[in-house]
């Protein structure tokens, strides 16, 4: 039976590249999206090349109960969830003095609580299967912090602590759980930055360029695939050497 990978926020950016990578490797794909878009249609077309089953399922990662329904539906239709990639995330950057309570709680609710919500609803099925891989998308900002990103940094640091704790809890069930910490990756999330900021960041990267979504997806696949049998509880940076 083919393996199934579920990717949150999978219709664009890093999530989309992860979905394509797992499809290329023969996994059936469940793409979670928040809103219907042309991106989703394009991705469905792209995935149809790979001769795998594809399910697109709407749901906001902040809606805890909805994720109970989603997990059940995937199991009913595809039979298992072998890989979960908690990718959905947002930024609401501003200096702390200007940051509203909502700016802080929105980012924590989606990035950190969303990772909890989806994991909590999916992991009972992995426990029953006695196998699973979870890859949580953190960020190097969760390791080093950044002015203007106190909310985002806290959410991504929380994801790292959550990852390590869950890895310890579920190792005995053959569920391996790791975090990936991307650096500066070319997506819609970073497209809002000015050329001056972009150049400044690129100068701080030993490899002197932004990363691509495919470079992140390759690492996510490495950790999420069944060939990974001995790496759990780790945070691996994909950042061109920015943090080392």
Answer yes or no whether residue 115 interacts with ligand NAP by CB under 6 A. Answer: no
Respond yes or no: is residue 152 known to be catalytic. yes
Select the residue interacting with ligand NAP from 3, 4, 9, 135 (CB under 6 A).
Answer: 9
Q: Of 209, 208, 207, 213, which is closest to residue 189 (Cα–Cα)?
A: 213
* CA torsion through residues 138, 113, 153, 211, sign: positive
200-239 binders of ligand NAP (CB under 6 A): none
Answer yes or no whether residue 139 interacts with ligand NAP by CB under 6 A. Answer: yes
How many residues make contact with ligand NAP (CB under 6 A)? 28
Report phi then psi at 52, rounded to 5: -125, 165
Select the residue interacting with ligand NAP from 6, 7, 11, 176 (CB under 6 A).
Answer: 11
Q: Which is nearer to ligand NAP, 123 or 238 (CB)?
A: 238
147-176 binders of ligand NAP (CB under 6 A): none
List the catalytic residue out of 27, 33, 152, 221.
152
Compute the distance between CA of residue 187 and CA of residue 190 in angstroms, rounded to an integer.
Answer: 6
Select the residue interacting with ligand NAP from 61, 153, 160, 179 (CB under 6 A).
Answer: 61
Answer yes or no whether residue 15 interacts with ligand NAP by CB under 6 A. Answer: yes
CA dist 218 to 19, 64, 126, Å?
Answer: 11, 29, 23
Residues 81-100, one symbol each (x = binds ligand NAP by CB under 6 A, - = not), give ------xxxx----------
Q: Of 68, 71, 153, 140, which is closest to residue 112 (Cα–Cα)?
A: 153
Which of the residues are catalytic?
Answer: 152
Residues contributing to the site for ligand NAP (CB under 6 A)? 8-9, 11-15, 33-35, 60-62, 87-90, 110, 114, 137, 139, 182, 184-185, 187-190
């Amino acid at each position: 039976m083919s393996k199934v990978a579920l990717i949150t926020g999978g219709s664009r950016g890093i999530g989309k590249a992860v979905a394509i990578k797992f499809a290329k490797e023969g996994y059936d794909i469940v793409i979670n999206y928040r809103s219907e878009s042309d991106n989703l249609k394009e991705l469905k077309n792209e995935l149809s090349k790979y001769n795998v089953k594809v399910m697109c399922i709407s749901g906001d990662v902040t809606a805890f109960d909805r994720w109970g329904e989603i997990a059940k539906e995937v199991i009913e239709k595809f039979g298992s969830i072998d890989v979960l990639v908690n990718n959905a995330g947002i930024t609401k950057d501003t200096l702390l003095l200007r940051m509203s309570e909502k700016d802080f709680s929105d980012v924590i609710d989606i990035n950190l609580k969303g990772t909890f919500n989806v994991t909590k609803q999916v992991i009972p099925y992995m426990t029953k299967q006695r196998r699973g891989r979870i890859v949580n998308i953190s960020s190097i900002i969760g390791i080093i912090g950044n002015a203007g990103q106190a909310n985002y940094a806290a959410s991504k640091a929380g994801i790292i602590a959550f990852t390590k704790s869950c890895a310890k809890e579920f190792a005995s069930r053959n569920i391996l759980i790791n975090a990936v910490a991307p650096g500066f990756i070319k997506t819609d999330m970073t497209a809002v930055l000015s050329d001056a900021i972009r150049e400044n960041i690129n100068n701080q990267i030993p490899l002197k360029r932004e990363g691509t979504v495919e470079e992140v997806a390759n690492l996510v696949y490495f950790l999420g695939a069944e060939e990974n049998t001995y790496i759990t509880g780790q945070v691996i940076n994909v950042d061109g050497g920015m943090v080392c």
